[in-house]
Structure 1
Amino acid sequence: MTSITLSDLGWSAHFRAQLDDAPEDLARISGVERTRLEALSPDGPVSLSLPGGQSTGDYAVGDWVRYDPETGRCLRRFERQTLLHRRAAGTGAVDQLIAANVDTLGIVTSCNADFKEARLERYLALAAQAGCLPLVIITKADTVDDPGAYRRRAESLSPLVVAIDIDATDPLEIRRLNAWAADGRTLALLGSSGVGKTTISNALTGRGEATQGIREDDAKGRHTTTSRALWRTTAGGWLIDTPGMRALRLTDAAEGIDTVFADLTDLAGQCRFSDCTHGNEPGCAIQAEIDAGRLDPGRLRRWEKLLREDARNSETLAEARARDRSLQKVYRQGQAIGKQKRGL
């Protein structure tokens, strides 16, 4: 990698305001390993260890940190400008960090069975909660007669959405994404396996990695990206590519959901009863719009489903955090008692 500056890496006034001295020994996390952090600095790549008691799971690709160049130890993490996270896959109540300090979330889908409004609304809520700009990237535009129909469907989901349809195998088409990945700006790509994320990543960064196609009968593919990483783009920005997600479980995203479904939240405020369930109650503004044919009842169902899921996941994670705090308190008390006994 050629010489880069902090500004090239995405350093901004948001992070500078957190410093009370010279901006030295700073780096941006480019990879999170089991026991170490890989990072990029103006002096080149660095591999960082963590102080005792810290976990690499508390860091995300894109984070800014200060480190000790003599020991290679991470000293602090700067407060994030944006943070993408989800409830981790599986049965455990674990909050999984996806990426930090992302300017634009590129939600990648395709002109086939992968394109689903419910899935896009889920990703849009994630972007809104994180504070990222949402960009819906619709691939395989060369395989259908009217790719614009998919673009219009995506843009109809929220006034916040910018959507573009591209042929990801055409380098000239990929260049349309440079505006979101130039001049130190960071673009993250999320989406299902096989929709073209790796092809887009290769074109934006000049890298060459294996890609695998998708089965057109069900629009499913195999993972080609196996871990999150920060890569410099040829346009002078940064790209965070992520493994394909089979499921995106939202947590602590109620505000993001309400932002995406702002039309419904506004209507809900016009209902006759403040506790309206938007079912059969008289004076329901949402049902009035449905009855008039101006609102798709499916959108109401998807909104309610996301709110229920988020409430359930958020409550479970809160319980897990409380339990961890209790266990840590018991552990510290045990240590204190042990020290007292050894001092007798």
Structure 2
Amino acid sequence: MKLEDLGWNDFFQRQFEAARPGLVPARITAEYAGCYEVGLARGEALASVSGRFRHTAATTGEMPVVGDWVLLSDKPGAEKLPIQAVLKRKSKISRKTTDKEETEQPVAANADTVFIVQGLDANYNPRRLERFITAAWESGAAPVVILNKADLCPEAAKRAEETSLLTPGVPVIILDSVSLRGYEQLEPFLAKGRTIAFIGSSGVGKSTIINNLGAKKQKTSAVRESDSKGTHTTSTRRLLRLAGGSLLIDTPGMKEFEAWEAPDGFKETFCEIEDLSLKCRFTNCGHETEPGCAVRSALDLGILTQARYANYLKMKKEAAHQKARASLTEQLKRKAGAKKLSRAIKNFFKDS
């Protein structure tokens, strides 16, 4: 297997040449509990992070994820090859975990394009789409919106127009996965060596699309007619290869999605509101009760919809909460580190 078949290029080659000798590059192709599947020049293997790497990784965001290029020790006969480092990423899609810890959960790395899939049935949700778009812009990859299941929506073209207004500058593609109408519009994004990540909620048809593109068959299941919600037919993140040489990262459907620290993505997603905010009387305007608020004026004039405005405020507050929590966590880490150092100094002089 050639590394180029897995997306290797000069960006990663330069980092490899600067790394310490004795390590070999590999790409994470699947993620399991406690280990990874990797592709390297000699084929496929299982790998796990080394103790040293786990100890030095400052956050969960630094841990390997599907799509990452890593450096490992290729020990003959080893059951799992130890991962010693993760090469700098070209892009990283992350979300906030849904547990009480509220930490970063990387979803995929080194994607060139993010296919954000929504179903044109009861699954279609503009507010959820804004969340996915924000994460995609922040990741460093280029977002593309796919409106799947056009066969179930007589007003598919109208939905596409509405979506284009919500996502300025982002391609919007309508797919009928039964007749395969619209699939030709995906071809420009599927060039050899390019990596595409699929994200979306359960039941939108990601696995069906991937199957139709010619990847290894993925499990699919029907959705409930009552609410168009599906089950998690993809249970693990995987990197799949297409016959034409492009690579796909399939991810499980996500019921909840909150982008992780996405100031740039937020500005791109809500660019018209961000532009309006520059005209507010106060530079720190919260766009709620302050006088001279240009955003509120646009809302009153009907230029801005109530639903988009409400989602903008909600996501802005979530981002502020994340930032405050991250700052507090960093302060606590520094304090704990200072205490540890102080104890070490005391013990040193005590024993000397």
How high is the TM-score relative to the length of structure 1? 0.88
Residue 102 (structure 2) pairs with residue 97 (structure 1): no
Pick aligned residue for 1:301 from 295, 300, 310:
310
Q: Deviations over 1:224-272 (max 9, x none)?
A: 0011111112321111111110100222112211111111111110122
Whether contact under 8 Å (1:104, 1:180) holds in the other structure is yes
| Structure 2 CA distance for partners of 1:333 and 1:274, relative to 1, 3 Å | closer
Tell me the equivalent position of 1:8: 5
Tell me the equivalent position of 1:64: 69
Partner of 2:253: helix, strand, or coil? coil
Between 1:263-272 and 1:315-324, the stretch displaced more is 315-324
Residue identity in the other structure for 1:206 = A
Tell me the equivalent position of 2:239: 230
Tell me the equivalent position of 1:88: 97
Residue 33 (structure 2) pairs with residue 34 (structure 1): yes
Tell me the equivalent position of 1:156: 165
Q: For 1:1-344, what aligned pairs fall within 5 Å after superposition? A: 3=1, 5-20=2-17, 25-55=24-54, 58-70=63-75, 72-171=81-180, 173-324=182-333, 326-327=335-336
The CA deviation at 1:121 is 0.6
CA distance in 2, matches of 1:70, 1:339: 39
The CA deviation at 1:191 is 0.8
The CA deviation at 1:206 is 3.0
Residue identity in the other structure for 1:67 = L
| Structure 2 CA distance for partners of 1:299 and 1:172, relative to 1, 3 Å | closer
Deviation beyond 4 Å, 4+ runs, structure 1: 21-24, 324-341
Identity of aligned residues (%): 32
Whether contact under 8 Å (1:251, 1:311) holds in the other structure is no
Residue identity in the other structure for 2:49 = L
CA distance in 2, matches of 1:197, 1:103: 18
CA distance in 2, matches of 1:340, 1:48: 43
Whether contact under 8 Å (2:215, 2:241) holds in the other structure is no
How high is the TM-score relative to the length of structure 2? 0.87
| Structure 2 CA distance for partners of 1:21 and 1:316, relative to 1, 3 Å | closer
The CA deviation at 1:173 is 4.3
The CA deviation at 1:219 is 1.6
CA distance in 1, matches of 2:348, 2:34: 29
| Structure 2 CA distance for partners of 1:34 and 1:280, relative to 1, 3 Å | closer
Residue identity in the other structure for 2:74 = P
Partner of 1:18: helix, strand, or coil? helix
The CA deviation at 1:145 is 1.4
CA distance in 2, matches of 1:11, 1:97: 20
Q: Which runs of 5+ in 2 are unaligned?
A: none
Whether contact under 8 Å (1:93, 1:317) holds in the other structure is no
The CA deviation at 1:88 is 1.0
The CA deviation at 1:322 is 4.5
Between 1:188-197 and 1:279-288, the stretch displaced more is 279-288
Whether contact under 8 Å (2:52, 2:84) holds in the other structure is no
User: RMSD value over aligned CA atoms?
Assistant: 2.7
Between 1:316-325 and 1:122-131, the stretch displaced more is 316-325
The CA deviation at 1:307 is 0.7
The CA deviation at 1:281 is 4.2
Aligned length: 340
Residue identity in the other structure for 1:296 = T
Partner of 1:154: helix, strand, or coil? helix
Between 1:57-66 and 1:70-79, the stretch displaced more is 70-79
